[in-house]
Amino acid sequence: MSERVGEERTGEHRGGEHSPLITPEELAALADVTILDVRWRLGGPPGIESYREGHVPGAVFCDLNADLAAPPGQAGRHPLPSPEDFGAAMRRLGVSGARPVVVYDDADSTSAARAWWTLRYFGHGDVRVLDGGLRAWTKAGLPVSKEEGPVTPGDFTARPGGMPVLDADQAAALAVDGVLLDARAAERYRGEVEPVDPVAGHIPGAVSAPTSENVEPGGRFHSGSFLRERFNTLGAVEGVPVGAYCGSGVTAAHEVLALEIAGLPAALYAGSWSNWVADPGRPVATG
């Protein structure tokens, strides 16, 4: 089950017109593409510092907090931006509706997946994630650059509705009538620790499905068949509605991406746990 797709066997989720992933070699061969560097760490340091130390040539830095989320509040720590704000941010970064977009980070594609999902949600039809991120790019012997050239503004118009979303009530219902996956680390799901939000635990009925199990040690996604088997064992099978949440809607986007690789469409609870616990009347489960 741990075979690398595109190495030991024919790729089943790599490359191709309909894949959400792209390999370093495929990206290097693209002539007309917008590349967004979405490096980010919860608590810092700012990803722009890493970007300036070296990035994929031609990439533009995309700030997860400023460009892919609205300010924190009752809606969560990373609520969805308004269409107007998101569209303006993407145009500033050079995103156009008819030009492919590739997003990457330097870890396991967690923050890149948030960019992938948000662009898809707001209507961009051709967005892919660099599988393995900058580490895979450099491991392939491809060059990095420190150049920050001028960006030609894009023409992207944000139109919400391209990906399914859940609010708190819908997430609670899905935990009963379908499968609601909790993408956080297992100890946060169980309520043993909570390093960020004021309340520990999980949404009653949710199933623990840490995103760390979606990728191999090097940060590349497991094969589609591996992921499909993984999610099937958690109850996510064809015909059953599936959703995902995390702390603030970032790692849950990674879960939705992994589910898409597995051929299992899923909705995102964008507000996630930080929105859930903002209402003290909502139930909390532990254990």
Q: Which residues are catalytic?
A: 246
The whole-angstrom separation of Cα 201 and Cα 187 is 9
DSSP-based three-state secondary structure for 145:
strand
Which pair of structure tokens corresponds to residue 124?
């961009």
How many CB atoms are closer than 10 A to CB 17?
5
The whole-angstrom separation of Cα 205 and Cα 235 is 12
User: In three state form, how does the secondary structure of 2-42 look?
Assistant: CCCECCCECCCCCCCCCCCEECHHHHHCCCCCEEEECCCCC
Strand partners, 130: 22
DSSP-based three-state secondary structure for 55:
strand
The whole-angstrom separation of Cα 31 and Cα 22 is 14
Q: Report the candidate in 130, 116, 122, 111 with the shortest Cα–Cα distance to residue 65.
A: 111
The whole-angstrom separation of Cα 68 and Cα 116 is 10
